[in-house]
Structure 1
Amino acid sequence: MEKLSRFTGAWFPLIVLIAAAIALLTPDTFSYWGPAVPWMLAMIMLGMGMTLTLADFKNIGRRPLALMFGVVAQYTIMPLIGYLLAVLLSLPPELAVGMVLVGAAPGGTASNVMVYLARGDTALSVAMTTVSTLLAPLLTPLLVLWLGGTFLPVSGGDLFISILQIVLVPITVGILLRVFFPRMVNAIVPILPFVSVLGITAVVVTVVGGSADTLLAVGLLLVVAVVLHNLAGLTCGYIIAKLCRQPVSGCRAISIEVGMQNSGLAAALATAHFSPAAALPAAIFSVWHNISGSLVAGFWSRREPADHVANKGELTRNVGR
């Protein structure tokens, strides 16, 4: 199972692309999976909770300014860029809401591995993912209500309850399992990457299968929007961190954290509260941000920052996430 986890993690974008192509060709096969999407995400969030340790929460208080800069950038840059792209490209209302949802989602856990590979500040990356995820029940509904509400009616209260159920409760249960049943959790953790890939792939095929006609009609335009959204997040995240006088490793961490979203959560919320078409930006984002993140990490991995050595002890511990 560990070998399978490593394999699926390494080939995640290709696996999802193949699965999405199958869903596009045979949409009826996956059209009934919609109600299971929130449960799939809850399982992934449960796994995230089981990987969190006391050290992760200690890291939150070690560099409060860097963490604050990063989380503020996460919840301002991405939602606003998603909204602006939807307006500039005149996307249909459902896709426009989907772009806002992706932007208003917290950071994705895959970003931690990308930051590690990029020789960035992985401790800061993990802290940003943790804090942005814990803030999601409050900030994501407010941002979607504010920005997405200009395209379609939005129920902030329903979004809040869904995020509590999909994110906060499973993460809390995962943390408690780690505290009270550490041996069981340590045995499970090595297969969590496989579970995550399986869950995200299932979300993508459900979304693609349920909105194949929409994807065929606006596919290229939507891909352009998603790619621009992600690249703008990576670029603006780095620039903001630089303006806030963060070291190079911190700039890399904030850049990747801002650019890589929890697209699975966005897809689950879009499917539950809008339509499968609204989840298409998240489905495409889930593939593309892993490709772009890998390319950026590969580029930076050959350029070690001067401050990287001090972080190596923390980096090693977090590589499995």
Structure 2
Amino acid sequence: MNQIGQIIRKYFAVLVIVVSIVALVQPNAFIWIAPYINLLLGVVMFGMGLTMRPVDFQAVAKKPLPVFIGLAAQFVIMPLAAFVIAYALQLPPALAAGLVLVGACPGGTASNVMVYLSRGDVAVSVAMTSVSTLLAPLLTPAAFLLLAGQWLPVSAGDMVVSILQVIIVPIVLGVLVRRTFPDAVERSVAALPVVSVAAILAIIAAILGLNQEEVLTGSALVFAAVILHNTFGLLLGYLTAVFTGLDRTKRRAISLEVGMQNSGLAAGLATAHLNPLAALPSAIFSVWHNISGTALVSLWNRDRKSKEGEGLENEHPPNS
């Protein structure tokens, strides 16, 4: 199971692309999943709770500044970038609101894997994901109503209740189960990546299936908006860490955390409180941010290997 989990993490972006193509070709095979999106998201969050430990928050207690900088960037850059992009591209109200909702959500768990693969600061990444998720009931509705309420009004109270039900309750249950049955959780933790990935893939497939026509006929503008949104998040997250004097490992962690959103949560909230079309940016974001994150990790690792090679050459110059 550990080996299967490693394979899934390594090829997650490929799995997302394959499932997305299948969902667009055979949408009826996945539309039935739509009513269960929040349940599936709750399963993912329950798994997150099972893996949470007090040590995950030690990064905040020992060195809080990088985490606070990252969280500020997370909840300022992404919602504002979505708002600016939606206005600049003149997106229809449902799509504009959906894009802002993606930006207002906390960081996604896939970013932790990407940070690990990039040799970034995993402790900062995990702390940012955990804390931003716990802050979501307050900050996500606030950011959405401030920036997108003009397009699709929604009840802040209803959204808060949904986030509590879909995120906080499953996480708390996961933490309690881990404390109550630690041995059983340790034996089963290897299966969590498989279950979480299956749930995320099902969510993406359902939303793409519901919006097949929009994706295939008129979504070039949405793709452009999502790509710009993700790119701004990755770039501005990195620059924020640079300007605040953080080291390279923390720059990478903050860049990926800011740029990779919990698009599953955005999809669930859009489906429950907006409309299926508003969930389309979330589904496209789910596909794209895994592709861009993988590409960025590969670029950073290639740069690292290149510098290591240059260092070896300088240390042992070839015979002339």
What is aligned with 1:188?
188
1:98 paired residue number: 98
Whole-Å separation in 2 of the counterparts to 1:301 and 1:283: 28
Shift of 1:294: 1.2
Number of equivalenced pairs: 305
Distance (whole Å) between structure 1 residues aligned to residue 291 and residue 31 of structure 2: 27
Q: Which residue of 2 aligns with 1:208?
A: 208
Q: In the alignment, residue 241 of structure 1 is paired with which amino acid?
A: A
Aligned residue in 2 for 1:33: 33
Question: Partner letter of residue 153 of structure 1?
Answer: P
> How far apart, in 1, do the equivalents of 2:120 and 2:70 lie?
14
Equivalents in 2 of 1:221, 1:261: separation in Å?
Answer: 20
3-state SS of paired residue (2:219) = helix
Q: Give the aligned residue type for 1:103.
A: G
Separation in structure 2 between the aligned mates of residue 123 and residue 3 of structure 1, nearest angstrom = 23
Task: Out of 9-18 and 219-228, give the one that drifted further.
Answer: 9-18
- Look up the match of 1:279: 279
Q: Deviations over 1:24-63 (max 9, x none)?
A: 2232332232210000000000001111111112222111
For 1:180 and 1:279, the matched residues in 2 are separated by 37
Instruction: Report the Cα distance in structure 1 between the residues aligned to 2:39 and 2:241, rounded to whole angstroms.
Output: 35
- CA distance in structure 2 between the partners assigned to 1:186 and 1:304 by the alignment: 34
Aligned residue number for residue 224 of structure 1: 224
Where does residue 124 of structure 2 map in the other structure? 124
Partner of 2:250: 250
* Partner SS state of residue 74, structure 2: helix
Residue pairs, 1:1-321, within 5 angstroms? 1-303=1-303
Shift of 1:18: 2.2
Shift of 1:14: 2.3
Amino acid in the other structure paired with 1:111? S
State the alpha-carbon separation in 1 of the partners of residues 287 and 210 from structure 2: 18
Verify the 8 A CA contact 1:95 1:278 in the aligned structure 2: yes
Code of the aligned partner of 1:257: E
Greater C-alpha Rg: 2
Q: Deviations over 1:49-103 (max 9, x none)?
A: 1111111122221111111111000000001111111111111111111101110
Q: Distance in 1 between matches of 2:105 and 2:51?
A: 20
* Paired residue secondary structure (1:151): coil
Structure 1 letter corresponding to 2:127: A
TM, length-normalised to structure 2: 0.91
TM-score of the pair, normalised by structure 1: 0.91
Using the alignment, how far apart are the partners of 1:237 and 1:220 within structure 2? Answer: 26
Partners of 2:116 and 2:4 lie apart in 1 by 21
Instruction: Give the residue type in structure 2 aligned to 1:170.
Output: P
8 Å CA contact retained: 2:13, 2:294? no
Give the secondary-structure state (helix, strand or coil) at the position aligned to 2:32.
coil
Letter in 1 for 2:206: T
Deviates more, 1:215-224 or 1:94-103: 215-224
> Distance between the aligned counterparts of 2:272 and 2:160, measured in 1?
12
* C-alpha deviation, 1:304, in angstroms: 5.1
Extract unaligned runs of 5+ from structure 2.
Answer: 306-320
Q: Matched residues, percent identical?
A: 50
- Offset from partner CA, 1:271-295 (integer Å, 9 cap, x none): 1111221111111111111111111
For residue 207 of structure 1, give the secondary structure of its aligned residue in structure 2: helix
Q: CA RMSD in A?
A: 1.5
